[in-house]
Amino acid sequence: MLLTDRAVLAPPAPLITREEARMLGVPISATSHLIVRRGLYVPRQAYLSLRPWEQYALRVHGYIRRHPDAVLCLESAAVLHGLPLFRHPRDIHVLDPDAERSQRIGDVCIHTSADARDIIRIAGMRVTGLLDTVVDLARAVAPARALAIADSALSPVQDGGVRLADLRAKAEEQQNRRGRARLRWVCARADGRAESPAESVSRAVIEWSGFEHPELQREFGYEGRRDRADFHFPSNGTIGEADGWGKYELNAPERAAVHLRDEKRREDRLRRNGHPVARWDLADAWRVAPLVTALRGAGLTPQHPPQPAMLATLAQSPRDRPTARETYVPARDRRRRALSRAGT
């Protein structure tokens, strides 16, 4: 998927103010709507139908609706750049270069920095530039996620446009030392040949599970056809495929059937020519064990000890909203619930 396709440049569900609701005769109640920000609402069912990162995008757009001059950064800037967000980030992030110190106000983190940032406009909204956003996120988020973000910004297939040399130069020139080890880990592994976040996360899991480093996007010529593999493991010729199901256009059944048929023929062709094939998807990579099982089933064995501390970073991050929370409950509603439970 292209960054431009992933970018959420407008609210993914309708936002309405109380004034608009009065004018249009739309009843607002706790059962029909959720509060996105003070005086700004979204239909409850519309919100619940969104995927976690879309719910976050709605919160970001709600914040900008109330604070149109704010400069979005980190995960909030990623929404507009189309960088991959895998879950529902906990906070809205804005940059205030003139602030004396960073601070949190409710669910909003206001950041300052000694390092200058490129500030641009996307769809009329102010955000940190793509390169700055990638570097900032690489310092802050879990390593596998950071790798997926960096890969997507570098990948021509994902329409990234960032050069690896520029990424590394930006990382080294900044004064900020926070997260520098993580940033260097990402810069050493970022690769624009990754065609999806699933491939990037898989690459991290493969390394941390102790398997050999695979070749990326290796091409093979068999039976008069050219076939390209996500991963090629030289030790026994295994082909690894990290399925991002969007590439099969499953929302277009006829085209999906053609793609699936062609993929089956391609896989059979590779097997006939001596290549075991291992398949997994992004969910398998997050869980680790299914990906490891797929590789072992293709005859691969780890060549290095696993890195359990790194594998543990694949679990839910403290930067995420807890998965058990199905709805967005602003601070004011949380206070009301607490008072209700206390009987006051």
Q: Residue 64 has which token pair?
A: 């900008």
DSSP E strand boundaries for 124-249: 125-128, 215-222, 225-233, 238-243
At 334 the pLDDT is 46
Q: Is-above-0.85 flag for pTM?
A: yes
- The average pLDDT across 278-290 equals 96
As a whole number of angstroms, the longest Cα–Cα distance in the chain is 77
User: What is the radius of gyration, based on Cα positions, of the chain?
Assistant: 22
At 251 the pLDDT is 52
Residues 173-182: tens digit of each pLDDT: 998 888 999 9
How long, in residues, is the chain?
Answer: 344
At 98 the pLDDT is 87
Residues 48-76: tens digit of each pLDDT: 999 999 999 999 999 999 999 999 999 99
Residues 123-141: tens digit of each pLDDT: 999 999 999 999 999 999 9
| Position 111 pLDDT exceeds 60 | yes
| Residue 74 and residue 85 in contact, taking contact as beta carbons nearer than 8 Å | no
Which pLDDT band, with edges at 50, 70 and 90, does 83 fall under? very high
At 124 the pLDDT is 97
Which pLDDT band, with edges at 50, 70 and 90, does 294 fall under? very high
Task: Find where tokens 């700055």 sit.
Answer: 132
Q: Residue 251 has which token pair?
A: 């929302």
CB atoms within 10 A of CB 239: 24
Task: Find where tokens 């270069």 sit.
Answer: 97
Answer positive or negative: Cα dihedral of 160, 161, 163, 167.
Answer: negative
